[in-house]
Amino acid sequence: MTKGNFDLGMLVLRIWFGLEMAIAHGMPKLMKLLNGDFGFADPIGVGPTLSLILAVFGEFICGITIALGLFTRLSAIPYLITMLVAAFLVHWGDGWSKMAYPLMYAVAAIVLLIAGPGKYSLDQRLFVSKTAG
């Protein structure tokens, strides 16, 4: 695999898993929060409102920043934690088919933590110094 293919692959991974999470999962929770409906599961014992806020942050905010490639590795951490909570605390008793989806997102987050966002990212544009050649 060439470096160019790797960077393109990371772009596709970031855009798909970032936007899919933000739009399909985070957006409904954000709308719930904005509408003042704070009824939500409390899997980690911090209260339903804070659990909802944390889920919105991990899914919507971090999903968007991951898609953009902005603060990618940092954003992957709450995204990963949210997915591990969903898999192992929320869906533990629901069987593999319910646990597999959040684990799939968790694997994408782990890949981003290990590999970084690739060169087609805002992180690359904003934070990687260019050396004169």
pLDDT beyond 50 at 73: yes
Q: Residue 33: what residue type?
A: L
Return the axis-axis angle of helices 96-115 and 3-20, rounded to nearest 10°. 140
Are 40 and 32 a contacting pair, CB within 8 Å? yes
124 phi, psi to nearest 5 deg: -65, -45
pLDDT tens sequence across 81-102: 999 999 999 999 999 999 999 9
- CB atoms < 10 A from the CB of 18, how many? 26
Residue 132 confidence class, pLDDT cut points 50, 70, 90: very low
